[in-house]
Homo-oligomer: A and B are copies of this chain.
Amino acid sequence: MRDICVIGLGLLGGSVLRSAVAAGRTAWGATESGSDAEAATVDGYDAGTDVDAALRRAAERDAVVVSAVPLPAVDEVLRRVAAHAPACVLTDVTSVKGPVLGSVRRLVPQARYAGGHPMTGTAESGWAAGNVALFDGAAWVVCVEDDTDLAVWSEVAALALDAGARVVPLSASAHDEAVARVSHLPHLLAAVLATVGGHGGPLAASLSAGSFGDGTRVAGSRPELVRAMTEGNREALLPVLDEALGMLGATRGSLASTGGLASTINAGYQGMRTLAEHRDAARTEVLVRLDAPDARDGLRALGERGGHITAVADGSVTGQVA
């Protein structure tokens, strides 16, 4: 198993460091946040604030470098990777993948890169919010582009599997479209709902319960993190936002004209059933040989059909798909 070097020790980076150590790897981290570095050190981890030194050590040990900083800070980390560890296997845990792929191609063109995104909550942040089990059972997208080196991809997938995640192979663009739907739109609708609720004053606070509490929960996330992920996914988010706007506008029109909301409410109920059916579908085990000429297409198709990878072996991967 390769060593792991994590840059950024917040919720995600801190949990990557913990789970890599728990899996028996040698792992160290660096962050510009003195408080996160100190908290990690107090907890017994090899952590500091000298990012360049951590990367030089990664280069010496041929470690996997994990960028675990928010999107606005990714370019600066990549510049340092280019300076100190350009030949290392490189991944990231940023919540959008197309923009990071663009930055990697621009700033570290020689990188041995496969982007990643563990799909976990963002309501809490910082080292203290992380834990070794954060990724257990969660989806962790590991990106496959047409030029992705599948040996590199396997190294990144192994890191995610070690952490207990389901590895979902996808292109960056398929990832970004899907997270616009299931993560970024929910954050925007929660913000709208929390705002409209807030306008209801103390009475709204007194009467709000289940449906409002559920629908607004993520509106309490740190605004700068939500901005980074939603604004960073602008291209994929716009058409999804238009879909929601069109449907809400039609809902308004129907309520105003006929007074009926069956179309909206039935469509939502049907959406829930469809998603539950996908989740509950019987799955079969598949094997993808990584030296096959269509291996990249095979991996991406598996991810797009709701499947995931369960094991990485020498030259092949095992997965499950409906």
Which one of A65-73, A82-90, A219-227, A286-294 contacts B?
A219-227
A261 touches B139 (CB 8 A): no
| A109 lies within 8 A of chain B by Cβ | no
- Find the residue from A120, A139, A198, A245 having the highest chain B CB count within 10 A: A198
A306 touches B243 (CB 8 A): no
A178 touches B203 (CB 8 A): yes
A208 touches B188 (CB 8 A): no
- Find the residue from A121, A193, A266 having the highest chain B CB count within 10 A: A193
* A242 cross-chain contacts in B, Cβ below 8 A: 252
* Interface residues in A164-202 (C-beta closer than 8 Å to B): 166, 168, 170, 174, 177-179, 181-183, 185-202
When the two chains form the complex, which single residue of B141, B206, B234, B279 contacts A139, counting CB atoms closer than 8 Å?
Answer: B206
* A223 cross-chain contacts in B, Cβ below 8 A: 262, 265-266, 269
* A315 cross-chain contacts in B, Cβ below 8 A: none
Which one of A54-62, A150-158, A270-278 contacts B?
A270-278
| A53 lies within 8 A of chain B by Cβ | no
Assuming the A-B contacts A181-B196, A196-B240, A238-B252, are A205 and B275 also in contact, with contact meaning beta carbons closer than 8 angstroms in the complex? Answer: yes
When the two chains form the complex, which single residue of B170, B206, B271 contacts A307, counting CB atoms closer than 8 Å?
Answer: B206
* Interface residues in A274-311 (C-beta closer than 8 Å to B): 274-276, 278-279, 281, 303-308
- Find the residue from A186, A190, A268 having the highest chain B CB count within 10 A: A268
The minimal Cβ–Cβ distance linking A238 to chain B, given in whole angstroms, is 6
When the two chains form the complex, which single residue of B178, B251, B276, B281 contacts A192, counting CB atoms closer than 8 Å?
Answer: B251
B212 touches A214 (CB 8 A): no
| A237 lies within 8 A of chain B by Cβ | yes
| A207 lies within 8 A of chain B by Cβ | yes
Q: How far is the CA of A181 from the CA of B194 in the complex (A)?
A: 10
A209 touches B119 (CB 8 A): yes
Q: How far is the CA of A205 from the CA of B304 in the complex (A)?
A: 10
Q: How far is the CA of A219 from the CA of B211 in the complex (A)?
A: 9
* A174 cross-chain contacts in B, Cβ below 8 A: 203
- Find the residue from A192, A210, A234, A256 having the highest chain B CB count within 10 A: A192
Q: How far is the CA of A142 from the CA of B5 in the complex (A)?
A: 60
Q: Which residue on chain B has the smallest CB distance to residue A222? A: B269
- Can you list 17 A-B pairs with a CB-CB distance of less than 8 A? A121-B209, A121-B210, A139-B207, A186-B193, A190-B268, A191-B251, A191-B268, A192-B244, A195-B271, A196-B247, A198-B267, A205-B276, A206-B303, A221-B269, A227-B260, A242-B252, A244-B248
List the 4 closest pairs (A to B, CB-CB), nearest first.
A191-B268, A202-B306, A198-B271, A205-B278
